[in-house]
Structure 1
């Protein structure tokens, strides 16, 4: 812990004035910086500190300065905040510090510092930094209407209406909304790079849902999205203290997020080696989806009712996103038709050989059900 009298009392203060001095310790215990400040001087520059240091929650005046711990704010972010209030230059050297400073600016209702941090973050917004900037940003931004969630409706560079004068919270929300739209644009353009990062596993369920529902993700394959969701679900299970088993992964994902993946845009090999092998989908759901991928018609009313019970038709979409999907017919494991039954059996055995024992048993069971439906 270090002490830095950035906003120090002026020399020659009387004893009564020295009672107005407070110590502010910013950061977590053991990793904090401490500042000696004069409460009236700081209160004049910040409405938040005016309430904290001179309002009903202010610490009592004593001969020795009281110590206030600010564990909710990053030490470097608070350092930049004090420098900004003292009209000293604020220079960022990392995205992480600028992002933490944006948090502090929102906490202390400092729109000028928020604009400064956002400008730096926009200039350093890349596929490798976008998730660090995106995480938690939606808490500060305005709610995006459905029409604003797509780049076709609004460009990230489109100006927003300025907030009313004196609306500090509105001013911060406006710049954060613009930054959020730019983050979504970068994610849309580089989903394979972004979804493969470990930081994706740290997002909240709301942030994950915001991304997976987007029609503008430039995905080359829905397998990329499913693999990312599988990793996120395992991490979320561990955060909740439960075993990352398939049934628990399905529970934390929810049906809505689970079926945000457009399985019908996969070929049968991709689906069998990915979603089916993961165990997140039930056997009935796998049978229904594979039959849809293969284009197997429903021959009877009972088949239709059974399929609807497995997966509601509204949950499955074959509408491509903005990305280009490559359909390689030669890589299909299964081909409908009586003449190809023997080939299907050989392909099933080959696929099972590359999977673990439990996965092989699951895939084999599902494929038997598929063939039973196809040739019943």
Structure 2
């Protein structure tokens, strides 16, 4: 009679033994809670298996940020993708069945730094490119900076345009993808009317996603000005205009009349209302196919150390700790909505897997690109005078001397002269503090355009402090219904008593008056500054209202110190 452990003798290959452990969870020593409700699943795994496959898991379990024996939440990966990831780690098996599955698995593989799995997923996507998924594949390639795949997808969008537009998946495309398509000189459409109808359908679907009635005003709001500026409606005949765009709620009466008048009696220089395209050049050129790739503005580092009180140094480079950080710089002009912290803010002793979140609204449409969060508090700043028994300590505030501050470069000659967690925002360190007290006080931060980046302060170090540690963070942005709009994960060496910039995987357009939520998962044990921050901040003519809704809608919101945005 065999012993309970005789299963080993029946397994010929290591992959077979790995599959047995994966399926039975025998000897498992870690637990993951993957996905979001109601589709959340729990996985029992083995630290050693995970660590020998992924440097991220290695750092998570055996590095300086080793996890405690508590369930590890992974909110930004679907359970099916995580199961496929584990199958690859335990057995080397890859079983891709669909385009969507390959996208989800590729994201997980990039997140946990499994380059060979990423390669296999990308190969599958190449083989499965069709008009029905060209837009989704283009967005995937753009997100993960795969320029060759991007170009191939755009080529399909240009050469098989009508098939792309007629597929229901087009209505799920991102706004930026819609604009990119309309920017193309050569599209396989017999009439601009096809593009106009597709744009109208997309806008109607976007209104539905946002819970808006598809009125003319709402259609234009969700579209923005760019698509209408790119539609070449003057290539249509008067009868086509009269039976289509002229009676659409997307155009105003004045715009429709001006288009009909210009189409009926063309003039050398078209006189149309501002925001409409005056081109009469049709897009369809049967003998000239091709596409125009959008300019690559580059992508900011997903994890940038911001030394708020030190001299400049070069940006973070690709390292063994984080090889995925080798990305190019460059972005549109950005603004920082800083949330001032109340003096004598307590710092919280996290024991791993600490969540921070904040709900907010804006009074103007903006585009969110990232956030700033603090790193851990050094021992020097933990020794306040008001310790408590609740796991909180108070940060002793060290007022900066104006003679030691250069507000342009954020440079402090003596690092002991300032506490990075003081009540003042970085761009206003040399200015008086805002009046008022408590979390409800209103602050006008003023313009904070990104002179920071051009002044070389990113990647700067705090002078006199070299005790780096490894930080692993997960961040996401959701709408009021909990639908994830963007996300990212970060792993890098950072210094205490500093700030870290987190750039989302893609920027997100936010609509004024709607509620959004930013969440950050801190996985490391240590002390973090938790003080209360301003709940109303005005920055570059945008008013941010934080902590919207009941207190159950946000937690430890003071850890999210700044929202980075563009227009």
- TM-score, normalising length: structure 1: 0.64
1:125 alignment counterpart: 129
1:194 alignment counterpart: 164
Kindly report which structure 2 residues correspond to 1:58-207, keeping only aligned pairs within 5 A, or say none: 58-61=66-69, 66-86=70-90, 88-141=92-145, 176-207=146-177
Shift of 1:7: 8.4
1:318 alignment counterpart: 280
1:6 alignment counterpart: 22
2:53–2:114: 8 Å Cα contact kept in structure 1? Answer: no
| Structure number, greater radius of gyration | 1
2:54 alignment counterpart: 46
Shift of 1:89: 2.1
Return closer, same or farther for 1:111/1:217 CA change in 2, 3 Å cut-off: farther
Number of residue pairs matched?
268
2:35 alignment counterpart: 27
1:283 aligns with 2:249: no
Return closer, same or farther for 1:274/1:31 CA change in 2, 3 Å cut-off: same
Distance 1:31 1:241 in 2: 23
1:127–1:194: 8 Å Cα contact kept in structure 2? Answer: yes
Task: Give secondary structure in 2 for the equivalent of 1:35.
Answer: strand
Shift of 1:288: 2.1
Shift of 1:323: 4.1
Distance 2:73 2:232 in 1: 49
Task: Give secondary structure in 2 for the equivalent of 1:23.
Answer: strand
Query: What do you get for the CA RMSD once the two structures are aligned?
Result: 2.8
1:40–1:54: 8 Å Cα contact kept in structure 2? Answer: no
Question: Which moves more between the two structures, 283-292 or 33-42?
Answer: 33-42
2:191–2:236: 8 Å Cα contact kept in structure 1? Answer: yes
User: Which runs of no fewer than 5 residues in structure 1 stay unpaired?
Assistant: 12-17, 142-175, 299-303, 325-376
1:224 aligns with 2:194: yes
Return closer, same or farther for 1:181/1:58 CA change in 2, 3 Å cut-off: same
1:25–1:70: 8 Å Cα contact kept in structure 2? Answer: yes
Return closer, same or farther for 1:216/1:108 CA change in 2, 3 Å cut-off: farther
1:234 alignment counterpart: 204
Return closer, same or farther for 1:225/1:90 CA change in 2, 3 Å cut-off: same
Distance 1:30 1:121 in 2: 29
Distance 1:4 1:228 in 2: 51
1:221–1:266: 8 Å Cα contact kept in structure 2? Answer: yes
Return closer, same or farther for 1:271/1:52 CA change in 2, 3 Å cut-off: farther
Distance 1:242 1:178 in 2: 37
In terms of fraction of residues, the more helix-rich structure is 1
Query: CA offsets, 1:323-365, max 9 Å, x none?
Result: 46xxxxxxxxxxxxxxxxxxxxxxxxxxxxxxxxxxxxxxxxx
1:244 alignment counterpart: 214
Query: CA offsets, 1:67-117, max 9 Å, x none?
Result: 223231122222222233335220212222112112222322322111101
Return closer, same or farther for 1:88/1:320 CA change in 2, 3 Å cut-off: same
Distance 2:112 2:281 in 1: 45
Shift of 1:309: 6.5
Distance 1:109 1:272 in 2: 55
Query: CA offsets, 1:190-214, max 9 Å, x none?
Result: 1111112222222221121111111
Distance 1:29 1:56 in 2: 31
Task: Give secondary structure in 1 for the equivalent of 2:45.
Answer: strand
- TM-score, normalising length: structure 2: 0.44
1:5–1:36: 8 Å Cα contact kept in structure 2? Answer: no
Shift of 1:262: 0.9
In terms of fraction of residues, the more strand-rich structure is 2
1:328 alignment counterpart: none
1:222–1:265: 8 Å Cα contact kept in structure 2? Answer: yes
Question: Which moves more between the two structures, 315-324 or 282-291?
Answer: 315-324
1:26–1:74: 8 Å Cα contact kept in structure 2? Answer: yes
Return closer, same or farther for 1:139/1:225 CA change in 2, 3 Å cut-off: same
Task: Give secondary structure in 1 for the equivalent of 2:60.
Answer: helix
2:196–2:245: 8 Å Cα contact kept in structure 1? Answer: yes
Shift of 1:308: 4.3
Shift of 1:4: 8.4
User: Which runs of no fewer than 5 residues in structure 2 stay unpaired?
Assistant: 1-18, 287-567
2:103–2:140: 8 Å Cα contact kept in structure 1? Answer: no
Task: Give secondary structure in 1 for the equivalent of 2:250.
Answer: coil
Question: Which moves more between the two structures, 117-126 or 37-46?
Answer: 37-46
1:345 alignment counterpart: none
1:105–1:113: 8 Å Cα contact kept in structure 2? Answer: yes
1:226–1:261: 8 Å Cα contact kept in structure 2? Answer: yes
Query: CA offsets, 1:107-155, max 9 Å, x none?
Result: 22322111101111111111123234334432212xxxxxxxxxxxxxx
2:240 alignment counterpart: 270
